[in-house]
Amino acid sequence: MRARIAAACAEADRDPAEITLIAVGKGIAAGRVAEILALGVTELGENKAQEAATKAADIASLQPEPAARWHFIGQLQRNKARIVTGFASMVHSVDRPALVVALDRAAAPRRQPLEVLLQLDLDPNPNPDPTRGGADPQDLAALADAVLGVEHLTLRGLMTVAPPGVDARRAFDRLVGYSQVLQAIQPSATVISAGMSGDLEAAISAGATHVRVGTALFGARKLASEHRS
Ligand SMILES: *Cc1c(COP(=O)(O)O)cnc(C)c1O
């Protein structure tokens, strides 16, 4: 995977040090996910709150060196905010004001603020799948203001999942455009989380800073783990 990222960076004339690889272990047992820490991949991603919390606790109990840092990348219900703020460093899937409020409240007891990304839905067609998540880009500024207005969240950037059936590169170019809009509001919100196993080259060439890779690292998983958390 490092070689694939390096090749994509060479092609795009970028420094591989600019890219953070997040290993997405959803549907994969804690023991196998932990093995990747030893390879130096310390950023781990999950998309279901309870599975993630259990796995994070299991892996923490192994006291790995280096330790893992957890990214929550799936759709999140408000009533599960507290599960996620218990283990995650960054939540990529903030897409509505009510979730901002719930995460802020849940993050209050933390020592560190919770880092958040705003997830945009860049599907040009009306979203047929409400479980996929993501905010309408028209709501970007309002959502950014909501995060900036609370105490326990830090606004770090944007995330998207390329919509099915459209050219991923075009979607990622749009995301990078919206990142510029966001950075005009909050200059430190520079993270661009885009690219998965199938489209990470397009994401890196568009300007992604974080790629979220599951299948290409761990192999195929059962479809059950794709569902809403
Ligand atoms: C599962 C998932 C990924 C990783 O997908 P792969 O195609 O297995 O690399 C990335 N982002 C999100 C939001 C996911 O749910």
Residue 151's pLDDT is what? 98
Q: How many angstroms separate the CA atoms of 141 and 169, rounded?
A: 23
Average pLDDT over residues 202-218: 97
Residue pLDDT, tens place only, 46-102: 999 999 999 999 999 999 888 999 999 999 999 999 999 999 999 999 999 999 999
Coil, helix or strand at residue 111: coil
Strand partners, 115: 90, 154
Q: Model-level pTM?
A: 0.95
Q: How many angstroms separate the CA atoms of 153 and 170, rounded?
A: 30
CATH of range 2-218; options 2.100.10.30, 3.40.50.10070, 3.40.30.10, 3.20.20.10: 3.20.20.10
Residue type, 73: I
Residue pLDDT, tens place only, 176-198: 999 999 999 999 999 999 999 99
**Ligand 1 site-directed mutation target among 20, 33, 46, 47, most atoms within 8 Å of CB:** 47
Residue 229 pLDDT more than 60?
no
Least-confidence region, from 81-90, 163-172, 216-225? 216-225
- Residue 109, classified by CB atoms within 10 Å of its CB into exposed (0-12), middle (13-18) or buried (19+), is exposed
Residue 165's pLDDT is what? 86
- Is the CB of residue 48 below 6 angstroms from any atom belonging to ligand 1? no
Residue 222's pLDDT is what? 65
- CA 61–ligand 1 middle distance (angstroms): 25
Task: Identify whether the C-beta of residue 129 lies closer than 8 Å to the C-beta of residue 170.
Answer: no
Residue 224's pLDDT is what? 52
Q: How many angstroms separate the CA atoms of 185 and 145, rounded?
A: 8
- For atom 1 of ligand 1, the residue with the nearest CA is 214
Which carries the bigger pLDDT value, residue 125 or residue 3?
3
Domain ranges in the chain are 2-218
- The closest-lying atom of ligand 1 relative to the alpha carbon of residue 93 is 13
Residue pLDDT, tens place only, 106-127: 999 999 999 999 999 999 877 6
Helical spans, DSSP H, in the chain: 2-12, 30-38, 49-61, 81-85, 97-107, 140-148, 168-185, 200-206, 215-218
- The closest-lying atom of ligand 1 relative to the alpha carbon of residue 217 is 9
